Amino acid sequence: MSKLNNELHVLSELYDINHQLMPLKDLADRELASIRGLTGMVYTPYLDDYMQVAIKKAEIVSCLKNQKLLPLSEVEVIHSALNALYSRARTRSVVEYQGRNYERRFLPLKLSKSGKNVQKWAKVWLLQDDNGRVVPAWESQVREIWPTYYLIRSIDI
């Protein structure tokens, strides 16, 4: 997987990538559901294809937001505000911001070559409902904005 490049994108590319992503997401979700509970190396072509297209979409969206062609989402605005206010928050700590509770989570982003140690962590804020559970729609938006956070890479590229 290559690092993000610096070429500029246009809105039509975002529409094209969304049409490419929809059928792949359905296949990847079915594939993921069918392999739950299995261990070892599992061949997951649909999931891999979906993740590659999701990364491309994140690259395009990031570029469009940097060009100010797309506005920042509520998730991104709150994420940056919480990161500024609570930069030293530990995992699973809950903070209140504008009358809502947010939980800090650290998720493995990059593993060592052996796959036993985490080299880099993703830091995200998840919105909690009144019962203290994470709101699924919020988590989905976080995953959409930062799909590379949910890919664990075991080697340097």
Tell me the pLDDT of the chain (157 aa) as tens digits.
Answer: 445 567 788 889 888 988 888 888 877 777 766 665 444 445 566 666 777 787 788 778 878 888 999 898 899 899 989 999 999 999 999 999 999 999 999 887 777 777 778 887 888 999 999 998 999 999 888 877 766 555 544 334 3
CB atoms within 10 A of CB 98: 7
Dist. CA 138–CA 123, nearest whole Å = 15
Residue 68 three-state SS: coil
In terms of pTM, does the model score above 0.85? no
Alpha-carbon distance values, 130 to 17, 44, 96, 99, 135 (Å): 36, 37, 12, 11, 10
Handedness of CA 36, 41, 44, 49 (dihedral sign): positive
Dist. CA 134–CA 127, nearest whole Å = 6
Q: Which residues lie below 8 Å from residue 157, measured CB to CB, with a gap of 6+?
A: 1, 2, 3
Structure tokens at 42: 């599992």
